[in-house]
A and B are shown apart, each in its own frame.
Chain A
Amino acid sequence: MGDQANLRVWRGDAGAGKLTDYQVEVNEGEVVLDVLHRLQATQTGDLAIRWNCKAGKCGSCSMEINGRPRLACMTRMSTFEPAEVLTITPLRTFPVIRDLVTDVSFNYTKAREIPSFSPDPSIKPGEFRMQQVDVNRSQEFRKCIECYLCQNVCHVIRDHPENERPFAGPRFLMRVTELEMHPADEADRREIAQDDFGLGYCNITKCCTEVCPEHIKITDNALIPMKERVVGRKYDPLVWLGSKIGRRPAPKDTPEVPNTV
């Protein structure tokens, strides 16, 4: 028999909701998701929680615990004081479906707007040759488990739904960067990163990096270098001169994918 945890859980749906208090048994070594599961199994069977692997690998159980965006499966109960009341609420940036589950379809829409990996079509499968040092950076970004905690915490959209159209959010700006740094990719997404995905909205407060459960350095390794690339593209004196004197055509920018918005 373990101790009792004091939980204050948001219950409700898109219409309305409120915080409800519960006392739930907690045992040594448990994480918040364990305690929520016990609550579900013993007190309120219809408590809506989205979860999947319970191992920090799938990014499903994103929620806000005492106001902080976290994965419930990777948040150990021992990080809180025994008497502390845990307030557990759904991700604030996305519309609530029920209880702790939100509608994250915004993210899937954004993913579809980014031009996909575009290799040289003459390279056949099996013929790619890339050095480890050249793939390291994009590999770091591909550690992303799409928990959308960065999307949730980013103030550009957290308190400003009006920015959801022009701003793709840290996860997808990082995806743009990942493709730009992919050694076999030939598209050029620098212009659309700025114009269509709103890279300029990011003012590098690093909140995204801070909440990333995979410890990806989103701001330092993706967003800032991408900003530098965009600037390099826009103000490249050689490109500018070449286009002025008509000797060198401006490099082709890859357009946003049609009919995906």
Chain B
Amino acid sequence: MTDIQRFSYDVVVIGAGGSGLRAAIEARQRGKKTAIISKSLFGKAHTVMAEGGAAAAMGNVNPRDNWQVHFRDTMRGGKLINNWRMAELHAKEAPDRIWELEAWGALFDRTKDGKISQRNFGGHEYPRLAHVGDRTGLELIRTLQQRVVALQQEDAASQGDPEAMIKVFAETTITELVKDADGRIAGAFGYFRDTGKFVFFEAPAVVLATGGIGKTFKVTSNSWEYTGDGLALALLAGANLLNMEFVQFHPTGMVWPISVRGLLVTESVRGDGGVLRNSEGKRFMFNYVPDVFRAQYAETEEEGDRWYTDPEHNRRPPELLPRDEVARSINSEIKAGRGSPHGGVFLDVSTRLPAEEILRKLPSMHHQFLELAGVDITKEPMEVGPTCHYMMGGVEVEPDSAATAVPGLFAAGEVAGGFHGSNRLGGNSLSDLLVFGRRAGLGAADYLDGLPARPQVPAADLEAAAAEATAPLERAGGENPYAVHADLQQTMNDLVGLIRKESEMTTALKELEKYRQRVSQVSAEGGPGYNPGWHLALDLRNMMLVAECVGMAALERQESRGGHTRDDYPVMSPEWRKVNLICSMSGDHVALWRQPVKPMRPDLMAVFDRSELAKYLTEEELPAEAAAAAPGTATKTATQEEKH
């Protein structure tokens, strides 16, 4: 028998970023005994890297903003393949989630009348992002962290133990979800990173809040934790992954020095007036406004510049197109030989704003470029290029409860799929975490309330999980996990990156077959105590599974939409808009199949002009010419599945 320490909780939340903490807070507030599992220290999760802000239609800066406009912007940004119910819930609930943070001590930047200030961002019609300079993610995670502490203080006072109802297990990794004989979640198995000792959390409800997959790619803005753990855990437990081909490449990552290639340069630089130029000094974005957006964007530099001070009478500059458009445009300029010396383009704020204003609005960017690249952004332009930033796809969930197909398993935040469609708008991630983190906590609490008895844990499963986790330490002479990881990242970057084509992805999938073999044979030197080589060896399984899903879905979708750009199918197709691609396990391999997109509710459809809908939908899907809403089509459910 392996030595496995056991704990018993009502809800186990895997991940301690924004969505995980918000889910845990909700579960605890509903009286559930909650564990938070964090791969890193408490308060270090990837959420701290979010810069620009949290989008919520509070209408503090422009009173014309409301949830319908936010909903419409989100759907437009995602090219209308978003889960519209999630987009609706998000747009309606985001303001309350932001205000709640303020009641927990968050200090956002203010408007003149003392309300929360809101800033412009790509794809958002009105200034909508609540922010704190360019360190909004830090404020969000610190506030949630301090809210957890406040709840622990309540429990300390009432029960004599601060960890009676909510406890953080820092530097702990989950490697397996365990189910009972009926297929319901029974707990989560993992190890403490500092000692390498195994641990089992017996719990009927598990919330996945593990974030994304950036570390599968070489050039990424993501931190080391982003190894697709939650996606792999969900897949292996029997849940479905949705639209894994939609990977966001943020248009502006650092390109120099090499060691920080991919590090995020916030979109706020453009939101606050920064412009993109090529090596000829030209603001090239004016050449790249696609037809679907032409009506909403300025045609001349003069109009674009006027918009910053007079948004009522001018259209926004094309630097503020959604991220997928800007990333592709930058890529085209570089390919055409009009790039910057280190293979990016120029992002300039120095000629656009006075130095004091840059220092006030973009302090982290100033700091980052000065310290890491020796560039003073108040005096010279930055060099930027696309970087793997965000996974729009993810675990398929019920919009209202965040429940997955596995009873007792919930998912929220970046690990969940659907809300952002094929492309996420900046600022929608932080509010996503709050809205759906809370809903996952509620969903888990409701599930527990309806559960007649706690699921029984099969002991053999724990032994098997322990054996699998120990294997790389015991295996001698296998490959170095760091080398396998570096190769995998290079493969994904080269073959399934920003611009994709069939031949390359077919090669990638063949390569991934080989990685499967390589990953199963890695050896980790050293012992179990705080051993990063061993940790990486275990994370590799997750990255490889996720890479496979991305590759398969990307090969299947023969169109270009949002974060998925096909060189061989450059056009967005209304027929493909009706298709969600689902990955699930079939035996020990990933299977891919198609699932119809649920038709949008007529009242939500009515938020759009018919002429705009016509750019995305097939003729049959469009509402009748004169009528405001077309009844009858919305009740058809998406059950038809085509196995591949």
Contact = CB atoms under 8 A, between A and B. Distances in A.
Contacts of A30: 257-259
Given A74-B371, A101-B530, A58 B223 contact: yes
Given A34-B259, A76-B371, A46 B110 contact: no
A104 interface: yes
Contact of B113 (A27, A55, A112, A129): A129
A129 B108 CA distance: 11
B224 A51 contact: yes
Contact of A145 (B138, B258, B524): B138
A48 interface: yes
A54 B156 contact: no
Interface residues of B, number: 74
Contact of A132 (B100, B109, B153, B157): B109
Contact of B532 (A49, A97, A146, A260): A49
Contacts of A165: none
Given A53-B223, A57-B48, A131-B114, A98 B530 contact: yes
B99 interface: yes
Interface stretch (B179-187, B400-408, B477-485, B555-563): B477-485
Interface stretch (A17-25, A81-89, A135-143, A234-242): A135-143
Nearest to B529: A98
Contacts of A47: 532
B82 to A, nearest CB: 27
Contacts of A103: 194
Contacts of A42: 482
B368 A139 contact: no
A121 B643 CA distance: 56
Interface in B410-437: none
Given A60-B41, A112-B153, A131-B114, A48 B368 contact: no
A130 interface: yes
B44 A52 contact: yes
A210 to B, nearest CB: 16
A52 B533 CA distance: 15
Contact of B533 (A45, A123, A125): A45
A251 interface: no
Contacts of B482: 40-42, 45
A99 interface: yes
A255 to B, nearest CB: 10
A205 interface: no
Interface string B132-155: 110101110010001001101100
Given A104-B41, A117-B104, A126-B99, A53 B46 contact: yes
A261 to B, nearest CB: 10
B465 interface: no
B115 A129 contact: yes
Contacts of A224: none
A52 B529 CA distance: 18
A50 interface: yes
Given A60-B44, A132-B110, A40 B533 contact: yes
If over half of A's interface residues share one DSSP class (helix, strand or loop), that class is named, otherwise mixed; here it is loop
B225 interface: yes
Contacts of A132: 109-110, 117
Nearest to A259: B156
B258 to A, nearest CB: 6
A257 interface: yes
Contacts of A170: none
Contacts of A104: 41
B41 A259 contact: no
B259 A27 contact: yes
A28 B261 CA distance: 13
Contacts of A27: 258-259
Contact of B44 (A59, A112, A179): A59
B107 A58 contact: no
Interface string A212-230: 0000000000000000000
Nearest to A26: B259
A236 to B, nearest CB: 27
Contact of A182 (B103, B105, B117, B156): B105
A50 B194 CA distance: 10
Contacts of B533: 40, 45-46
Contact of B48 (A58, A116, A124, A129): A58
A57 B364 contact: yes
B594 to A, nearest CB: 37
Nearest to B525: A45
Contact of A46 (B99, B150, B364, B524): B524
Nearest to B113: A129
Contact of B107 (A60, A108, A135, A257): A135
Contact of A260 (B135, B156, B263): B156
B42 A259 contact: no
Given A44-B525, A46-B532, A126-B58, 12 more contacts: A31-B372, A45-B481, A45-B525, A53-B44, A54-B223, A57-B137, A57-B138, A99-B530, A130-B110, A131-B114, A132-B109, A179-B105
8 contacts: A29-B259, A30-B258, A31-B259, A55-B223, A56-B372, A116-B146, A125-B102, A135-B110
Interface of A: 13, 27-31, 34, 40-42, 44-60, 74, 76, 97-99, 101, 103-104, 108, 111-112, 115-117, 119, 123-126, 128-132, 135, 138-139, 142-143, 145-146, 179, 182, 185, 257-260
Closest 6 CB pairs of A and B: A29-B257, A46-B526, A45-B533, A117-B105, A129-B114, A41-B482
